[in-house]
Structure 1
Amino acid sequence: MKLLTEYLDRAIALERLAASEQDSDFKTQLLNQAAAYRKLAAERAEQYGMPAPSPPEIPDGGAP
């Protein structure tokens, strides 16, 4: 269960960084990393028999 929460915490932190990032290339990289962590969290949740995590807090993941 610890990995699941760590993955989600990391995804949220990256999404928040991306929300304030001005460089669109770097912002995209941050959002791609966040998406990868969310995917890992979803896989871990499935292993635990839990529902998938909620979508990003930022609409469209804060895409540029």
Structure 2
Amino acid sequence: MDSSLNAQLRELEETHINFEVRSSSEELDKILADEFGEIGNSGIKYDKKDFLELYVVLSDMALH
């Protein structure tokens, strides 16, 4: 993968796990693709609509 693209993707992922961004539906709408999906620690699958409606805030997030 191109190092510039890799850096851009990493930056977007770090933005996505930022508490201020995850608690703002407007900010999440800007950065999440319409096809976005994530599975939480509980095993529940969230899509973009869930995030925007429920203001999913995960305080214990880290990149692996």
TM-score band w.r.t. shorter chain:
0.3 to 0.5
Ranked by relative contact order (alpha carbons within 8 Å, sequence separation 6 or more), the top structure is 1
Q: TM-score, normalised by structure 2?
A: 0.37
Q: TM-score, normalised by structure 1?
A: 0.37
